[in-house]
Amino acid sequence: MSVGIRHDDLRRRNRAMVISAVRRAGQPSRTEIAATTGLSHSTISAISADLIQEGILTESKASEPTALKRGRPQIGLALNPEAAAVLTVVLSLNFLSVAVIDYAGQVVAEEQQRLDTLVMPRDELIGECVAIVRRRLQDPDLDIGSVARIAMGIQGITDSNARAMLWSPITPLTDIPFADILEKEFGISATMENDCNMMAVALQWRDPERYRDDFIAILLSHGIGMGLVLKGALFTGTHSSGGEFGHMIHRPGGALCRCGRRGCVEAYAGNYAIWRSAMRMSEDAEPVDVGDADMRALAAKARERDGPEREAYRRAGEALGFGLGSLFALIDPAPVAMVGVSAAAFDLIEPALREAIAQTAGGQHSESISFDTEPNELPLIREGCAMRALTFVDQEIFAPGGLARAGKHVA
């Protein structure tokens, strides 16, 4: 059960708080930090002195634009880029991408690679992932010791502890404990995250005005995925990454889904479903993977004339609308970000989607629900992984709990 607060936890938490305030605000002064955290100036001063002395933060007088103000000028505090580094690995359909990111969040190196995820045997898939990470870590420009965390993101279902991929549409393989594999291989703590959850994390950092406490990120691609932030925190299932919006039931016993079941939202709104419908194929037809270029061509044709293509997007909108309606019955309406190649065709989807939502419990405020679109999911996923890894370093390594507070008194 929940445990009492130990006296030494106090400092730990407040350290984490200060780091987090700096990461969020860019270059806040001590006074700003005191204001946002509610702690006293003296506490902030003491903690930031520690953090600077430990090389985690740096003072940067860069706040020049405030030259017009009277009084002692504020000293901006910034994250020391060299304090640590993290590594992100994003595995998606036929594509593997790795990046090294410094503690301040800047990409310092990256590498990408095509590979046939759908047909690769287990050992080979794991081998390629390990190999690309190894290449990046052996880069002579990189101090390998500074890499404090690896965050891997994958399209598919992961477990709720962010250790393993349980199931993924990009490979027939299941239950690959990537986090354990990478940890064992490189001795660096690692996580395995769901791609859509990382998209949501990235949106929260990119545009905290709009995406703060409650919002939904939906991936419209080969499959339909969702990342959900409720009350400021990422929502996950009890055992898995959860939030499998694409596999909510739209029509019981309906169209065949890639997951093998029938009537899922994805079976109407996934790329393959739109394609299948546009080509007047049976709803029972085996799902096929459609390239992004083909999807863009399909959308163009749908815009051009009323026909089966337009009808396919209409049906997709309907499925998404009723799905969102059911979701909104549970969590109340929230802003939605549509991400992925079919988000670029959202103009074709939106009318039917709104019409469907209006028929559901969430529909009371149908007009007020706002949709954003972002056609490119990969940068978002990587950014989310990076922030995930960095905030872990902030909290678990630079504000460690209980023991391991060595080397603190001497410079």
Partner DNA sequence: AGGCTTTTTTTCGAGCCTCAAAAAAATAGT
Partner DNA sequence: ACTATTTTTTTGAGGCTCGAAAAAAAGCCT
Residue type, 372: D
Measure the CA–CA gap between 266 and 249, rounded to whole angstroms: 9
* Side-by-side strand order, sheet with 190-194: 107-114, 95-102, 85-92, 147-154, 190-194
Beta pairing, strands 215-220 & 224-230? antiparallel
403 touches a second copy (CB under 8 A): no
Which residues are 215's β-sheet partners? 229
Decide if 267 contacts 279 (C-beta within 8 A).
Answer: no
Nearer to DNA, 10 or 107 (CB): 10
258 touches a second copy (CB under 8 A): no
Q: Which stretch binds a second copy (CB under 8 A): 13-21, 66-74, 79-87, 297-305?
A: 13-21
Q: With the C-alpha atoms ordered 107, 206, 195, 17, is the resulting torsion angle positive or negative?
A: positive
Strand segments (E) across 33-83: 57-60, 76-79
Measure the CA–CA gap between 237 and 299, rounded to whole angstroms: 34
For the CB of residue 10, give the shortest distance to DNA in the complex, in Å: 4
Q: Which residue among 149, 247, 314, 382 contacts a second copy (CB under 8 A)?
A: 247
Nearer to DNA, 71 or 252 (CB): 71
Q: With the C-alpha atoms ordered 178, 180, 182, 184, is the resulting torsion angle positive or negative?
A: negative
For the CB of residue 404, give the shortest distance to DNA in the complex, in Å: 13
Measure the CA–CA gap between 199 and 214, rounded to whole angstroms: 14
224 touches a second copy (CB under 8 A): no
68 touches a second copy (CB under 8 A): no
Decide if 182 contacts 190 (C-beta within 8 A).
Answer: yes
Q: Which residue among 24, 41, 239, 365 contacts DNA (CB under 7 A)?
A: 41
Q: Which stretch binds DNA (CB under 7 A): 24-32, 121-129, 284-292, 295-303?
A: 24-32
Of 166, 225, 228, the closest CA to residue 192 belongs to 166
Contact partner at residue 264 from a second copy, DNA, none, CB < 5 to 8 Å by partner kind: a second copy
3-class secondary-structure state, position 188: coil
240 touches a second copy (CB under 8 A): yes
Q: Which residue among 1, 2, 65, 72 contacts DNA (CB under 7 A)?
A: 72
354 touches a second copy (CB under 8 A): no
Q: Give residue for tokens 């003491």.
A: 46
Contact partner at residue 36 from a second copy, DNA, none, CB < 5 to 8 Å by partner kind: a second copy
4 touches a second copy (CB under 8 A): yes
For the CB of residue 65, give the shortest distance to DNA in the complex, in Å: 12
58 touches DNA (CB under 7 A): no
For the CB of residue 374, give the shortest distance to a second copy in the complex, in Å: 22
Backbone angles phi, psi at 60, to 5 degrees: -140, 115
For the CB of residue 18, give the shortest distance to a second copy in the complex, in Å: 8
Measure the CA–CA gap between 14 and 19, rounded to whole angstroms: 9
Which residues are 149's β-sheet partners? 86
Task: Catalog residues that contact DNA under the rule CB under 7 A.
Answer: 4-8, 10-11, 14, 29-31, 38-43, 45-49, 67-75
Task: Catalog residues that contact a second copy under the rule CB under 8 A.
Answer: 1-7, 10, 13-14, 17, 24, 36-39, 43, 160, 213-214, 230-231, 237-240, 242-245, 247-253, 259, 261-264, 318, 322, 325-327, 329-332, 334, 356, 359-361, 363
